[in-house]
Amino acid sequence: MKSLITNPAVVLVEWVVVVAAVNMIMTTSTLSSLPSREAEALLNSGWWQRNTTTTNHCEWVGISCNKAGSVIQIHATDYILTAGAALEKLNLSSFPNLEVLDLSNCRLHGSLGSQIGTLTNLVSLNLSDNLITGLIPSSIGLLTNLTHLNLARNRLARFIPLDLGNLSNLVNLDLSYNNLIGSIPSSIGLLTHLTHLVLERNRLAGFIPVTLGSLSNLVLLNLRSNHLTGPIPLSIGNLTKLNYLYLDSNQINGSIPSEIGNLVHLFGWEMANNDVIGPIPFSIANLTKLNYLNFASNHINGFLLPEIGNLMQLLHLEMSWNNLIGSIPSSIGNLTKLDSLCLDSNYINDSIPPSIAKLKNLKYLNLSVNLINNVIPTEIRELTNLIYLNLCHNRLFGPIPSSIGHLANLERFELFANQINGSIPPELGNLSTLDYLDLSQNFLSGPIPKELNRCHSLRYLGMSNNNLSGNIPAELVFLMSRLEHLSLSHNNLSGTVPNCPCGSCPLDLSDTYLECTLTHPPHNKAKGNSHLLAIFLAMSIFLAFLVSGFIYFCRSKITKTPCEARAMKNGNMCSIWNYDGCIAYEDIIRATNDFDIANCIGTGGYGSVYKAQLPNGQVFALKKLHSLEAEEPAFDKSFRNEVQMLTNLRHKNIVKLYGFCLHSHCMFLVYEYMEKGSLFCALSYDDEAVDLNWTTRVNIVKGTAHALSYMHHDCASPIVHRDISSNNILLNSNLEAFVADFGTAKLLCPDSSNRTLTVGTYGYVAPELAYTMVVTEKCDVYSFGVVALETIMGRHPGELLSSLSSSSAQNIMLNEVLDPRLSPPTDPLVARDVVLVSTLAFACLRSEPESRPTMQRVSQEFLACRSPPAKPFHSISLWQLRNPEGNFPPNQIQQSKKGTGITTLE
């Protein structure tokens, strides 16, 4: 022994020594004492290698003993050193006094043997978040003192043992996220102390047992995502303490029992994606505490009862994809807290009640695909928080009320396939945040109002199949140059299209057909022409429809436009144009006082950024390369690249390039000015960071996601930015996000193998770039994930990300990582958005590029109608965020009937 101990070579296997020591004790004096048997069992497990320097196992981490030195608690979450230890390694029969066994989150594999039944004093058994396979032994029924049993998130298979019904002291039972089959045993009804029953995400089939009605203490009943059939038992009416009822994503049929009216403490009721038939019972009026109610994708028929107006705490009401008939009751106006109302795809007729005006908090209103046959009420003007308004596929008639121009936050307005007549109200031009407008397939007449030119965010404009007439107003040229989709076909429009988003659309409207979707033509390359004085930007009025892409001039050739002629006449070497007309080089010189340092707002290795105000008040940012750097090919290339990319990108969350001058002695780019500077700076200064409240931060992340989705998916060739970081997200005066700095952006040509050259900012670069040089969209997705987390954490998440790989990080709560300068969100809808941002961020940070979602998917997730998380905000762990239901597969959302949102975290 002594020689062993003094031999340094054996230090590595120190614990062997202790085993030997314990064995020696056993063979001498205390052969069969309980404490020594327990010590031996702990040692033999091999799980406490780090702690064996002391022979008293009661001092080992996670172990508690009683006064007699016998183990009563093994609370060893995250502490097991031996990666991939088998559960069987610990001889459970050796701990007759054990009261608490918590080995959650230890990457344990193996199965649960029948010796578990020997732990008859066990009060709490938690083996959640491991890799345990096999079945739940029926001997578990012997643990009659158990109050908490958690085997969630393992790989348990087979049936739930009947003997579980013996655990009459059980308060909390969680078997979710396993592979359990068979039916829910009716013996579950014997567990009358249960408050939480969670069987989510197994393969449980058969009926919901009637005996559930005996569980009168239940607060949470979660059976979602199984294969349950049959009706909701009437006995559910006995569960009068229930707060949350999750039955969604099963095959439950039959009708809703009126006994549900007894559940007067219900906050959340999810029943989407089932086969429930019949009407909504009147007794629903009793559920006055409901926060959210989701019956989407069932076969519910009958009327939407006026009694729904009693549910005045509702935030989210979703009855999409059912067979509801009749009108929307005017009592809907009582639901003044409502954030989302989705009644789409039913057979609702009659009118939209004017009382809808009272829903001042409404952000999402979807009444599409119904039979509503009346006018759009002018009262809709009151819904000033609306972001999404979908009325398509109804029988609405009469004009579009001009009051729609009051909906200052509207981003998407769908009205296609109705019988709307009259002219398009010019007030639509007030909707400066409008991104998507579809008025197709109506009876609209008259001209296209020139005021639409003020819809600066519009990307999709559908007006085909109407009776529109007249010329397309010249004022719309800039709008049209930015659109990604424009449809004007089947109207009586005449004249020419002043500009068109795609180079290929016909200029002649005589065939009354015009439909184009933006495609990016191959980019012309700036040739090394020694006569080349300046390259002009083609985003301006007159040129974009001549050639799409790049236009460049040689001084002596080219017919000049008035603007350009002025610039040339004045002897300038460059001209910078924007949609307001033109800005001459001299204007820039004047505006910056010849690049006076006083106007400099930032400087970097390459050059400086200036703020420039023109006499007409317009403010620009101007990035100028230092004259020495201008000679440097790398900088030159980066500048040209930026021009090339930004010329072809039009998105409300991508910084706008107004013009540029690329001359060997003077290179600068002119952008939209961003008052609030970079996201990085805004997060760095405490006073500015506090201005970035949760809503603003969520919107910053959303805007960035939409911009990246556009770059990756809406362009003919995907464009990867390659340097997404908080430094390259800029904020305007409204704290909206803009992706900037396209110096390293790259077109991904599918047939090119040269996607090489690692660029990017340290701390934001996807891990795969360390070993492969292949740049894909998924590199941007990763960087986006970093920025998204950084935005809600208020600091770079580098430390958190490296600690996540260690198992001890698994219990970190979302609350603990949020920016401490803001108090955690209390509004459930804001909390929902913060949870969504975090969930998506973690999905984007997955190490395998293939398992990251696409930006398109991320962007769509932000647009989906969704319920607030059911769990209290403070009880959401990072583990849950990283393992969400639905798992965000990298493919797109399926447009199926069942495909409603996915992350309702429980």
Ligand X SMILES: *[C@@H]1O[C@H](CO)[C@@H](O)[C@H](O)[C@H]1NC(C)=O
Q: Which residues are annotated as a binding site?
A: 623
Cβ at position 292, least distance to ligand X in Å: 19
In the bound state with ligand X, the residue whose beta carbon lies nearer, of 334 and 726, is 334
Question: Is there binding between residue 279 and ligand X (CB under 6 A)?
Answer: no
Query: d(Cα 77, Cα 704) in Å, to the nearest integer?
Result: 38
Query: d(Cα 771, Cα 847) in Å, to the nearest integer?
Result: 12
Binding part of the chain for ligand X, among 155-163, 490-498, 655-663, 689-697 by CB under 6 A, reads: 689-697
Tokens of 525: 């390359």
In the bound state with ligand X, the residue whose beta carbon lies nearer, of 33 and 402, is 33
Restricted to residues 67-86, the positions that interact with ligand X (CB under 6 A) are: none
- Residue in 22, 37, 535, 723 binding ligand X, rule: CB under 6 A: 37
Cβ at position 312, least distance to ligand X in Å: 7
- Residue in 121, 327, 457, 471 binding ligand X, rule: CB under 6 A: 121
DSSP letter at 660 equals E
In the bound state with ligand X, the residue whose beta carbon lies nearer, of 76 and 669, is 76
Phi, psi of 455 (to 5 degrees): -80, 80
Give yes or no: 723 in active site.
Answer: yes
Cβ at position 721, least distance to ligand X in Å: 21
- Write the binding mask 884 to 903 for ligand X: x where contact by CB under 6 A, - elsewhere: --------------------
**For residues 343 and 316, is the Cβ–Cβ distance under 8 A?**
no
Binding part of the chain for ligand X, among 89-97, 105-113, 172-180, 853-861 by CB under 6 A, reads: 89-97
Query: d(Cα 541, Cα 561) in Å, to the nearest integer?
Result: 10
Question: Is there binding between residue 264 and ligand X (CB under 6 A)?
Answer: yes
Q: Which of 723, 741, 780, 819 is catalytic?
A: 723
- Distances in Å between the Cα of 484 and the Cα atoms of 410, 493, 739, 748, 886 are 19, 20, 18, 19, 31
Restricted to residues 348-377, the positions that interact with ligand X (CB under 6 A) are: 355
Angle at 390 between CA 389 and CA 391, to 5 degrees: 120
Restricted to residues 323-352, the positions that interact with ligand X (CB under 6 A) are: 330-331, 333-334
Binding part of the chain for ligand X, among 105-113, 257-265, 376-384, 541-549 by CB under 6 A, reads: 257-265
How many other β-carbons are positioned within 10 Å of the β-carbon of residue 705?
28
In the bound state with ligand X, the residue whose beta carbon lies nearer, of 264 and 371, is 264
CA dihedral 782, 783, 784, 785 (to 10 degrees): 50
Binding part of the chain for ligand X, among 47-55, 376-384, 545-553, 607-615 by CB under 6 A, reads: 47-55
Cβ at position 436, least distance to ligand X in Å: 23
CB-closest chain residue to ligand X: 261
Angle at 869 between CA 353 and CA 339, to 5 degrees: 20
Binding residues for ATP: 623
Helices and strands of the chain, counted as H and E runs:
17, 42
Cβ at position 416, least distance to ligand X in Å: 31
How are beta strands 316-318 and 292-294 bridged, if at all? parallel
Residue with tokens 């005017």: 330
**For residues 694 and 770, is the Cβ–Cβ distance under 8 A?**
no
Cβ at position 98, least distance to ligand X in Å: 9
Restricted to residues 49-68, the positions that interact with ligand X (CB under 6 A) are: 50-51, 53-54, 59, 61
Question: Is there binding between residue 695 and ligand X (CB under 6 A)?
Answer: yes
Cβ at position 316, least distance to ligand X in Å: 19
**For residues 867 and 316, is the Cβ–Cβ distance under 8 A?**
yes
Restricted to residues 635-674, the positions that interact with ligand X (CB under 6 A) are: none
Question: Is there binding between residue 611 and ligand X (CB under 6 A)?
Answer: no
Helix (H, G, I), strand (E, B) or coil at 173: strand
3-state SS track over 569-636: HCCCCCEEEECCEEEEHHHHHHHCCCCCHHHEEEECCCEEEEEEECCCCCEEEEEEECHHHHCCHHHH
DSSP string, 245-258: EE--SS---SBPPG
- Write the binding mask 91 to 110 for ligand X: x where contact by CB under 6 A, - elsewhere: x-xx----x-----------
Query: d(Cα 255, Cα 231) in Å, to the nearest integer?
Result: 7
Residues in the site for ligand X, rule: CB under 6 A?
Answer: 37, 50-51, 53-54, 59, 61, 91, 93-94, 99, 121, 123, 145, 213-214, 216, 235, 238, 261-262, 264, 283, 286, 309, 330-331, 333-334, 355, 691, 693, 695-696, 735, 752-754
What is the set of active-site residues? 723
